[in-house]
Amino acid sequence: MKSLYLSADKKISSQSLFEFDQEAYPQSHWRVNDFESELSYGHLLCAIDEAQNLGGILLFRVMEDSSDLMHLSVLAKRQGWGQKLMKFYFEQLKSHYPRVERVMLEVKVNNLAAMSLYTSMGFCKLQERQGYYPDGKSAFVLEKWLTKR
């Protein structure tokens, strides 16, 4: 596998993010306009190789003391890049948004890879949202507290 590095300031078009996501996550319901609004309202972290090709993306939003992980996908699976992007996300929150105490996300109930990644990183189930996704599948809402409670 090519070596990748993590970046918090890479400029990428919504179309390129969409094309990457289709390859990394063919079941994704995200469309170009979803990436467009995330680029306007949220923040993008990525894993890129030396030729500037994308290997992984993570999009998040920050609202006062809480952050939502909006999207995560990696091209080469099970090589640690999902976990590395998540750790990078927490580092970014700590250094740029120190007020953030809690991270929340939604994940499809049958997405075992993502569920395993998130639970291995300390996320806990908060609730289930029935029929949350366009295909009718339900979502688990997960949360992780960054500060001791």
List of residues contacting ligand COA (CB under 6 A): 24-25, 72-74, 77-83, 107, 111-114, 116-117, 120
Between 14 and 82, CB nearer to ligand COA: 82
Between 93 and 142, CB nearer to ligand COA: 142
CB of 145 to ligand COA, least distance (A): 19
Between 23 and 98, CB nearer to ligand COA: 23
Q: Are 4 and 56 in contact (CB under 8 A)?
A: yes
Tell me the Ramachandran region of residue 73: left when phi exceeds 0, alpha when psi lies from -120 to 50, beta otherwise.
Answer: beta
Q: Give the 3-state secondary structure of 32-55.
A: HHHHHHHHHHCEEEEEECCCCCEE
Cα–Cα dist 141/115, whole Å: 11
CB of 98 to ligand COA, least distance (A): 25
State both tokens at 103.
């991270």
CB of 44 to ligand COA, least distance (A): 15
Q: Are 74 and 55 in contact (CB under 8 A)?
A: yes
CB of 25 to ligand COA, least distance (A): 4
Between 2 and 77, CB nearer to ligand COA: 77
Residue number closest to ligand COA, CB atom:
82
